[in-house]
């Protein structure tokens, strides 16, 4: 081992690999090392635009922030964004190259191996240590031949592996033992330690099981990490966050749960704001008592709009807006608010044209070229209600296809470099924008919340907004402290440097 990397693999998806990687990266940073995250392939609809306009997965963005590094597309060279149940957009080094079925991509993967290895080595040469994240489980034996993200990546990087199991799912000892036993002898030799994650209770209860596990797999248990309620960006939409309510404020925010919802990380920062109570709505009844309805981003705008109609949610949104309720659309949700959506080149959908919700006076035409850019927008809305924010700068990023044309009843409220980025209706209760991250500093939601309270006659509850950046930093420090306390970091450093670590039971 070259002492330049550490790889975190798991017994399954959602065992906590991403969060543990972030914690280790923050620890390395605290200990004076320059560290970077890496994941060869991500499948996620939560993405981010780097400073040079390239697209990468949010998990590695969060991990880069934990490490104090600027997000770099080399940290996630392959990103898959599902566009339907059968196809995904394939993004290589930040640029979309094709739409493929699972079988087409499986056949394409061998071409990626050398490219991924070269990208990894380029990143590794610039840092003291790379923390590599695997995907799913390395024991998916039917996928071993085409693997580019688990044990084949460990071999390419000559990386020692720590295997993580989720005790909250149940059967953690069986899953750790079974995963190790299904590895080849060469793969098993790379696994230098295991961690049990998401434990609730007294660790002493586990100790007999820990000893028995070590005796059977001959790999040391490095620690038992307690359950951590972590408010960091999620990797993808397969998350409990979409099934629960966040925040306890007086402003009821209903985010419409679209089939291909993307970049819902926008609403993690929103849920932190004083006054916000954020929940995800799946049917028309879920929208009835909302103060603010938000249509989020989506990877397939027209088909999700059709699905919205099939669920009878379109009428509920229109009714809410016609009665003066606040409605906001972001990215694909913004496009849905217009009069007509056209996709003549089938860049997103096989449906060439669809009527929008008709709440904003604009039309959208999708194009093959995707806009991926970091941007700073400025609020400019004349004398309507957000006027107290006029001149306010809002930092964020854009990832979308589609060009808008506006009618006379579309009133600009947000501009980027003089160009219109967001419009609203004449009453100011329906707004849209392409800008992701617009809730991160809290000021925009604070203004919306004040407006809602004013309209319902209970003004005077103005509260100080929360900065997502400051909150995120405190979360990184918190999870790093928990992991330091529960994991043998001396052993982890020895593993990074290629030294042997003995089992406690030996």
Instruction: Write out 6-48 in H/E/C secondary structure.
Output: EEEEECCCCCCHHHHHHHHHHHHHHCCCCEEEECCEEECCCEE
Alpha-carbon distance of 469 to 155, in angstroms, equals: 36
Number of other CB atoms surrounding residue 15 within 10 Å: 27
Catalytic site includes residue 381: no
Q: Which of 324, 319, 318, 310 is nearest to 336 (CA)?
A: 318
- For the chain, the domains span 5-40+60-68+113-232+473-496, 251-460
The per-residue pLDDT for range 374-407, each reduced to its tens digit, is 999 999 987 778 888 888 899 999 988 889 999 9
For residue 192, what are its two tokens?
């230098």
- Give the CATH number of domain 251-460; options: 3.40.50.2020, 3.90.105.20, 3.40.50.880, 3.40.190.80: 3.40.50.880
Please spell the DSSP secondary structure of 194-255, one letter per residue: EEEEEE-S-GGGGHHHHHHHHHHH---EEEEEEP----S--SSS-SGGGGS-B---SEEEEE
Number of other CB atoms surrounding residue 42 within 10 Å: 26
Tally DSSP H helices, then E strands, for the chain: 15, 27
Instruction: Find the length of the chain.
Output: 506
Q: What is the pLDDT, as a whole number, of residue 1? A: 41
5, 21, 129, 331: the active-site residue: 331
Alpha-carbon distance of 69 to 57, in angstroms, equals: 15
Q: Which residues pair with 459 in a beta bridge?
A: none
Identical topology for domains 5-40+60-68+113-232+473-496 and 251-460:
yes
Backbone φ and ψ for 95, nearest 5 degrees, come out as -125, 135
Alpha-carbon distance of 257 to 281, in angstroms, equals: 6
CATH T-level fold of 5-40+60-68+113-232+473-496: Rossmann fold (3.40.50)
- Are 356 and 366 a contacting pair, CB within 8 Å? no
Alpha-carbon distance of 40 to 36, in angstroms, equals: 13
Instruction: Write out 65-85 in H/E/C secondary structure.
Output: HHHCCCCCHHHCCEEEEECCC
Low-confidence ranges of the chain (pLDDT < 70): 1-3, 233-245, 247, 459-462, 504-506
| Pairing status of strand 403-406 against strand 393-400 | unpaired
Place of tokens 């993405």: 47
Q: Is the dihedral of CA 476, 482, 485, 487 positive or negative?
A: negative
For residue 183, what are its two tokens?
């590895």
260, 320, 400, 436: the active-site residue: 436
Instruction: Report the half-sphere exposure of 44 (CA within 13 A, side-chain side).
Output: 30
Please spell the DSSP secondary structure of 471-506, one letter per residue: HHHHHHHHHHHHHHHHB-HHHHHHHHTT-----TT-
| Pairing status of strand 430-433 against strand 353-355 | unpaired
148: helix, strand or coil: coil
Q: What is the pLDDT, as a whole number, of residue 38? A: 98
- Are 424 and 413 a contacting pair, CB within 8 Å? yes
């Amino acid at each position: 081992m070259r002492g330049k990397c550490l790889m975190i693999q798991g017994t399954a998806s959602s065992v906590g690999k991403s969060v543990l990687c972030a914690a280790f990266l923050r620890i390395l940073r605290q200990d004076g090392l320059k560290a970077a995250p890496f994941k060869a392939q991500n499948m996620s609809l939560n993405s981010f635009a780097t400073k040079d306009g390239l697209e990468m997965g949010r998990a590695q963005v969060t991990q880069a922030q934990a490490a104090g590094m600027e997000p770099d597309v080399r940290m996630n060279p392959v990103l898959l964004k599902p566009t339907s149940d059968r196809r995904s957009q394939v993004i290589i080094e930040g640029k979309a190259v094709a739409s493929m079925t699972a079988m087409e991509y499986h056949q394409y993967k061998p071409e990626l191996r050398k490219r991924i290895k070269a990208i990894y080595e380029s990143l590794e040469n610039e840092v003291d240590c790379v923390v590599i994240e695997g995907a799913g489980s390395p024991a998916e034996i039917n996928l071993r031949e085409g693997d580019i993200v688990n044990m084949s990546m460990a071999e390419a990087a000559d990386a020692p592996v720590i295997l993580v199991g989720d005790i909250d799912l149940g059967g953690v000892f069986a899953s750790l033992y079974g995963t190790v036993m299904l590895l080849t002898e060469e793969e098993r030799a790379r696994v230098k330690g295991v961690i049990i994650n998401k434990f609730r209770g007294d660790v002493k209860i586990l100790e007999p099981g820990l000893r028995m596990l070590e005796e059977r797999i001959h790999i040391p248990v490095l620690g038992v990490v307690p359950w951590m309620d972590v408010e960091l960006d999620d990797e993808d939409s397969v998350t409990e966050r979409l099934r629960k309510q966040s925040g306890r404020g007086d402003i009821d925010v209903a985010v419409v749960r679209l089939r291909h919802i993307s970049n819902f990380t926008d609403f993690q920062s929103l849920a932190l704001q004083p006054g916000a109570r954020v929940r995800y709505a799946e049917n028309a009844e879920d929208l009835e008592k909302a103060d603010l309805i938000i249509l989020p981003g989506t990877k397939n705008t027209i088909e999700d709009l059709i699905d919205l109609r099939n669920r009878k949610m379109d009428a509920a949104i229109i009714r809410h807006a016609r009665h003066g309720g606040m409605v906001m659309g972001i990215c694909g949700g913004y496009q849905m608010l217009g009069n007509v959506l056209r996709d003549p080149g089938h860049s997103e959908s096989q449906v060439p044209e669809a009527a929008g919700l008709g709440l904003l006076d604009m039309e959208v035409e999708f194009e093959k070229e995707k806009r991926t850019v970091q941007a700073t927008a400025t609020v400019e809305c004349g004398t309507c209600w957000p006027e107290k924010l006029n001149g306010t700068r809002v930092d964020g990023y854009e990832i979308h296809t589609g060009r808008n044309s506006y009618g006379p009843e579309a009133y600009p409220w947000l501009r980027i470099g003089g160009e219109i980025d967001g419009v609203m209706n004449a009453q100011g209760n329906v707004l849209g924008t392409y800008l992701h991250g617009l809730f991160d500093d809290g000021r925009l939601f604070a203004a919306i919340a004040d407006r809602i309270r004013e309209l319902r006659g209970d003004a005077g509850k103005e509260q100080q907004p929360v900065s997502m950046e400051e909150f995120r930093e405190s979360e990184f420090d918190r999870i790093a402290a928990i992991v330091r306390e529960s994991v043998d970091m001396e052993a982890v450093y020895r593993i990074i440097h290629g030294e042997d670590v003995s089992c406690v039971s030996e």
